[in-house]
Chains A and B, each alone.
Chain A
Amino acid sequence: MILTVASGKGGTGKTTVATSLALAITDISPVLLDCDVEAPNAHIFLQPQFDQRREIGLPIPEVDAVRCTGCGRCAEVCQYHAIVVMGGKVLVFPELCHGCGSCTLQCPEGAIEEVPNVLGVLEAGPAKDGIYFAQGVLNVGEPMAVPVIRELKRWRPFPEGRTIIRDAPPGNSCPVVETIQGADFVLLVTEPTPFGLHDLRLAIQLTRELGIPAGVLVNRDGVGDDGVEEFCRKEGIPILMRIPLDQRIGKAVARGEALVEAFPEYLPQFRELYTQIQSLIDSRQDAALPQAMGTRPSNDAKAGWS
């Protein structure tokens, strides 16, 4: 099972929830992926020992000044305007380059070679209580988060088949979409305030566009109004758990303690949360099963081959 924990904005307790959920289901040795590559911080709570490392880069163009005639073709074909030709001189903007390779392909002089531009690194290793941990770390000032998240999702330094919890970056932009794509379920952490509701609406819209079922965890329950509650009821979105507003939780988190470690009384609730998500995914898959079966080759056909 792949579960993404997301929230419309930062500071809603998304990482607190993701790490506590992982710590509540250590019996199945989950994997936690910190996909907030611009500011990964889940490691603080799970204390991994990194023993795997990979650099992630994009192939960017490098121009051979001797061969280049300054014809401008590369600049014409680059849809990201990451390469310009000024007065016969070629300029590459690595921060804009998506590594698509068009310029290299189209250069009539064969003057372009592709060289790796390192965007960031992936790190992984065993963490607390049998949890496996992996994170992406984007180089400072590097705007290309998506390729790093994509590689982090694909990376398998751990055995297949383990439950994966992805801690998403804040917001609703491309890196969040990338973190949600391919998940079986999205848990949206929100605050019961008008701001929280605003972000939740956008997040729900996004999960619907991606066709991925979602549920809500209300954090700091009691701070605001019942707008979130009403919205979820109207839209038929399950509220799976509530964590009350409690200054002690914030203080423990600030000290680098995971919520369920500082307050073990939350462990059963997080286990229940996991079970609920599991059954929501299962019931959805059951509903989709007859259709999926129809597309598979029938047993008769298989028998015919043997």
Chain B
Amino acid sequence: MKLAITGGTPQFETQLERRFGRCAYFIIVDTETRAWESFTNPAADARGGAGTQAAQFLANQGVEAVVSGDFGPNAFTALDAASIQMYSAQEGQAETLVDDFLAERLERVTGSTGPAHHGGGRSQGGRRR
């Protein structure tokens, strides 16, 4: 499966960046082959809506799970709608966090953990394909 980890630098050894929407890079790892790729977070400098923009980016990349520190309410709502599983960690290198994820050592996030920026979203279901 495709796992995203929020990082401060674009390497597999990067330390975890705890702010989901504002992280500098996403390290996206194929958990079976451990092949990884890094992407600049397009929302890193967004004036508003960083959480939703970052979530949209990950959904477009086909990511199925993400490890970060805190998820704001909008990010949570958007990721949840995309059925992307969220996991929270305090710190660690992307590389070791993959192992933690596979060993199920990470905490699953089931509600917004970040500071409340602007409340939740309003679902307006479209046609599922």
Residues of A at under 8 Å CB distance from B? Answer: 62-63, 65-66, 68-70, 72, 75, 80-82, 84-96, 111, 141, 143
Pairwise interchain contact B52-A89, C-beta atoms closer than 8 A:
no
Name the interface residues of B8-55: CB closer than 8 Å to any CB of A. Answer: 43, 46, 48-50, 52-53, 55
* Given A75-B56, A87-B83: A93 touches B118 (CB 8 Å cut-off): yes
Q: Which residues of B contact A (CB under 8 A)?
A: 43, 46, 48-50, 52-53, 55-56, 59-60, 74, 77-78, 81-83, 118-129
Measured CB to CB, the closest approach of chain B to A132, in angstroms, equals 34
Q: A87-B82, A88-B129 are in contact. List 18 more A-B contacts (CB 8 A).
A: A62-B124, A65-B127, A70-B127, A75-B56, A81-B46, A84-B52, A84-B59, A88-B128, A89-B126, A89-B128, A91-B122, A92-B124, A93-B77, A93-B120, A93-B122, A95-B119, A96-B48, A96-B74
Are B129 and A96 in contact (CB-based, < 8 A)? no
With contacts A66-B127, A69-B127, A81-B52 taken as known, whether A86 is within 8 angstroms of B122 at the C-beta atoms is no
Chain B residue numbers with a CB within 8 Å of A96 are 48-49, 52, 74, 118
Q: What number of residue pairs across chains A and B have CB atoms under 8 A from each other?
A: 97
What separation, in Å, do the CA atoms of A88 and B82 have in the docked complex? 9
Chain A neighbourhood of B60, CB < 8 A: 72
* Contacting residues, chain A, for B83 (C-beta < 8 A): 86-87
- Pairwise interchain contact A65-B56, C-beta atoms closer than 8 A: no
B87 to chain A, nearest CB (A): 18
Which residues of chain A are within 8 angstroms of B50 by Cβ–Cβ distance?
81
Residue of B nearest to A63 (CB): B124
Q: Which of B46, B83, B121 has the most CB of A within 10 A?
A: B121
A89 touches B125 (CB 8 A): yes
Nearest-neighbour CB distance to chain B for A155, whole angstroms, equals 26
Q: Is the CB of B124 within 8 A of A93?
A: no
Say whether A70 contacts B126, CB under 8 Å: yes
CA of A87 to CA of B126, assembled, Å: 9
Closest chain B residue to A70, Cβ basis: B126
The 9 A-B pairs at the shortest CB distance, nearest first, are namely: A81-B49, A68-B126, A95-B118, A86-B82, A81-B53, A86-B81, A93-B121, A81-B52, A63-B124
**Would you list 12 pairs from A and B whose C-beta atoms are within 8 A, ordered by A residue?**
A63-B126, A70-B126, A82-B49, A84-B59, A84-B81, A84-B121, A88-B128, A89-B123, A89-B125, A90-B125, A91-B52, A93-B49
